[in-house]
A and B are shown apart, each in its own frame.
Chain A
Amino acid sequence: MSSILSVSQLNRYVKSVIESDDKLNGVYLRGEISNLTLHSSGHIYFSLKDDEQCTIKAVMFAGKARYLKFRPTGGMKVVVRGNVTIYEKTGSYQIIIEEMLPDGDGALNLAYEQLKAELAKEGLFDNEHKKPLPTFPKKIGVITSPTGAAVQDIFRILKRRYPIGEIIFCPVPVQGENAAEDLTNAVRRFNGTKCADVIIIGRGGGSIEDLWSFNDENLARAIYECDIPIVSAVGHETDFTICDFVADVRASTPSAGAELVSPVTVDSMLMQTENIMNKMTMTVKRRLNNEFQRYERVSNSRVFSHPEDITDIRKIKFEMLSSRLKSAYTEKVSDERTKFAELTAKLDTLSPLKILSRGYAVAKKDGEIINSKTQADINDNIEIVLSDGSLECTVTGRK
């Protein structure tokens, strides 16, 4: 190698030497991120530093960086896998990172905390966005594993509390490689078809790895975008997942979730119906009672209890009239009597018998009274009427 090289020739040569070394391809490195630059293009540039303050330049291109489950920050301890190479322009050597994970036991926790912080910042957990659960859901969507205890718990509780609701069950794996995607699709399908009034999504308890599908960003967004209220019921009381935060309501367990979507039990509804029925009966009874009292008041009025009142007044009038009539009549009669007595007395004095009794007599011929001497001839038979009888006489002479 006696000829003089240009810098670029050297750099290119060293690069080819390094890149052909299998030991430098797919190398794993552990270190702390420093001098971090998140480029707008999506590329990530930083230095990886170890405890002895040794550093190496590191690049993660956008094509790989977008699969990161966490957001790298300065000072973060990471494990990376990548290929060592030379940047020809500066001759500095660097590692092109294929994959990067947070270092240590807290790796998942970190990713979780970061996603949580990011989504919170975006407003996915805001209370204003949370929808109230329906009081009487007709259809209850259930997204969980068909084999776990969770589905049994949910079905059992809904059967006891709320058998009038229909369960729309979408069975999906809740852990494993495709679980997050299946859960996400299930939520989207419910939202697309609107075939439920409320949804429970969840699973029984498990390790943080088991519950990991419920910390998926896409699932969180699908839940956020879902118009149907969602209850997240993942694991136990102490387990919190991203799904819990973004859902409209978090239930501590699947059983609690089933209770939350059936706020009014059939038993209490029965009681309510009974109460309404009682109220109605009371109202009608009171009404009827009032009407009856009204009727009683009327029917007990004096007109009905003393119907004679109506006739009495007429009776009195009649009696007054008739007594007046009577007295008028009596008066009249007694007047007439007096008059009559006077008349008869007068008549008495004029009676011919009275005259006869004083010695006068009446002469009759052939039954006819005669009052002239010319009315009887000598030898005629005439009758002389006296007060106590009569005499048969013969005329013997005339004077």
Chain B
Amino acid sequence: MSYEEAISKLEETVKQLESGKLSLEESIEMFEQGTKLAKECYETLKNAEQKITLISESEGN
């Protein structure tokens, strides 16, 4: 999952939690899922190493 996907999924999770429409069990499940997503985002951000790819004239299109 890309960072963008993870963060938007996390935002969606929070929105659902805030709606208060979920059952308690669902809320707890959502919370667990959200925690996992947040951790994933955090790891992605913390451990990101800049990747540099070189393209040159000879490669063509």
Chain A residues within 8 Å of B, Cβ to Cβ: 136, 138, 155, 158-159, 163-172, 182, 185, 189, 192-193, 195, 266, 269-270, 272-273, 276-277, 279-281, 283-284, 287-288, 291
B14 pairs with A280, CB closer than 8 A: yes
Q: A276-B38, A280-B10, A283-B14 are in contact. List 12 more A-B contacts (CB 8 A).
A: A164-B3, A169-B54, A169-B55, A170-B55, A182-B57, A189-B55, A273-B42, A273-B45, A279-B18, A280-B35, A281-B31, A291-B24
**Quick one: given A189-B61, A279-B14, are A272 and B27 in contact (CB under 8 Å)?**
no
B:38-53 near A, CB below 8 Å: 38, 41-42, 44-46, 48-53
Which 6 pairs across A and B sit closest by C-beta, in order of nearness?
Answer: A163-B48, A164-B48, A166-B51, A277-B38, A167-B52, A163-B50
Complex Cα spacing A114 to B49, Å: 45
Contacting residues, chain B, for A158 (C-beta < 8 A): 50
**Quick one: given A277-B38, A287-B24, are A169 and B53 in contact (CB under 8 Å)?**
yes
Chain B residues within 8 Å of A, Cβ to Cβ: 2-4, 7, 10-11, 13-14, 17-18, 20, 24, 27-28, 31, 34-35, 38, 41-42, 44-46, 48-57, 61
Contacting residues, chain A, for B45 (C-beta < 8 A): 164, 266, 269-270, 273
A195 pairs with B55, CB closer than 8 A: yes
B20 pairs with A287, CB closer than 8 A: yes
Contacting residues, chain B, for A155 (C-beta < 8 A): 50, 52
**Quick one: given A182-B57, A279-B14, A280-B31, are A159 and B50 in contact (CB under 8 Å)?**
yes
B3 pairs with A280, CB closer than 8 A: no
A166 pairs with B52, CB closer than 8 A: yes
**Quick one: given A266-B45, A270-B42, are A185 and B57 in contact (CB under 8 Å)?**
yes
B52 pairs with A273, CB closer than 8 A: no
Complex Cα spacing A170 to B60, Å: 12
Complex Cα spacing A169 to B13, Å: 37
Name A168's closest neighbour in chain B (CB-CB): B53
Contacting residues, chain B, for A280 (C-beta < 8 A): 10, 13-14, 17, 31, 34-35, 38
A167 pairs with B61, CB closer than 8 A: no
Complex Cα spacing A165 to B38, Å: 19
Name A159's closest neighbour in chain B (CB-CB): B50
A269 pairs with B7, CB closer than 8 A: yes
B56 pairs with A273, CB closer than 8 A: no
| CB<8 Å pairs between A and B, sample of 23 | A155-B52, A158-B50, A164-B44, A164-B45, A165-B50, A166-B50, A167-B50, A169-B55, A170-B56, A171-B54, A182-B57, A195-B55, A269-B3, A269-B41, A270-B42, A277-B35, A279-B14, A280-B31, A283-B14, A284-B31, A287-B17, A287-B27, A291-B24
Complex Cα spacing A284 to B14, Å: 9
B50 pairs with A171, CB closer than 8 A: no
